Chains A and B, each alone.
Chain A
């Protein structure tokens, strides 16, 4: 069965620090990968997605993620975080089904 692991449950950073959130999935075939973000009091929204092609994917608000097939990973990165990036981040995988499987989420707190 597909599963997604996010090992960082809670990350605390100062503004301008660099960010990397880990995401690993378990599925040996072709996958589609997603990062969703949930800002405080708001609904989940798509940050970026990978279907095929260039493994380095750029999303909104300066975020990017790299698909490394050999490591079954899709880590999210941002070179310099802002206070407004405070949110919960969810990695998700889709493979051969019509549904997304989500990880447990990473809560990011950015302090000014």
Chain B
């Protein structure tokens, strides 16, 4: 597609439920990044994919968070047993090659609210 597409754009979930957030990168972009944007916290790196593998998952805050990428394209970020502190905007970005030197294109994000 023309840009990075994220779905859903908004998600309200009850504490303890699992959620899945989806990212469709720009076609042909091999690198894909997940960030979390919380009020006053800036953008927090979560995980990075090169193709289908994740060389860097150091930013995942707990084992409740996981992500996968299939076919070198779509990625899904899963949060299990959601907590209120998981409320944030989850941003996805893609890049033609690994590393930010080639330019990140960001999606519009998924706003997650845990009630």
Contacts and interface: CB of A to CB of B under 8 A. Distances in A.
Interface of A: 4, 6, 9, 32, 34, 42-46, 51, 90, 92, 94, 97-105
Interface of B: 3-4, 31, 33, 35, 40-45, 48, 50, 55-56, 91, 93, 98-101, 103-104, 106-109
Contacts of A105: 42-43
Contact of A99 (B4, B45, B107, B108): B45
Given A44-B106, A97-B56, A98-B55, A34 B100 contact: yes
B48 A90 contact: no
Contact of B101 (A6, A92, A94): A94
SS class of chain A's interface: helix, strand, loop or mixed?
Answer: loop
B55 to A, nearest CB: 7
B108 A98 contact: no
Nearest to A41: B108
Contact of B100 (A42, A43, A94): A94
B43 A46 contact: no
